Amino acid sequence: MILTALRRGIRKRCPHCGEGALFSGWAHHLERCAVCGLVYERNPGDTWAFTIIGDRLPIAAIIVMIYFGYGRTHHVLGLITFAVLAVVLVWTAPNRWGVGIALHYLSRVYWPDPADPVPTQLKNSPSPDP
């Protein structure tokens, strides 16, 4: 179930059913799934920690590269590398945000709250492992 939800998130699909879209447009995530009704973010900011981790770890790797002097001896290579990394970070942002929403969904499934509106398990979806 974990890998299924993460695969769905990286594809920008609902982590519960895999059918509904997570985003309308490039970065505006929807309130709920149009297919199964899963509320993606019950309270504003619920996915914040997962999104910050997914965004900040790649940026931290770039900072480490700068700190240790990557590109000092070959300036053009360094500039090209950092430009490519910046493009990749922007290009993959919605995918990483989708993984953040999927991780939040998994936390809601494995540590349920009785007041949380997570839909019942679908017939073709595996049940969570104990």
Q: What is the pLDDT of residue 130?
A: 44
Percent of the chain's residues with pLDDT above 90: 31
Domain extent, residue 64, equals: 2-110
Domain for residue 7, yes or no? yes
pTM of the model: 0.78
Is 120 within the bounds of a domain? no
**Number of folded domains in the chain?**
1
Q: Is residue 99 in a domain? A: yes
**What is the model's pLDDT at position 87?**
92
pLDDT digits (tens, 9 = 90+) for 25-64: 776 778 889 999 898 888 888 888 888 888 888 888 888 8
| Residue 116 placed within a domain | no
Q: CA-CA distances (angstroms) from residue 114 to 101, 118, 128?
A: 20, 9, 16
DSSP state of 17: T
In a domain, 26, yes or no: yes
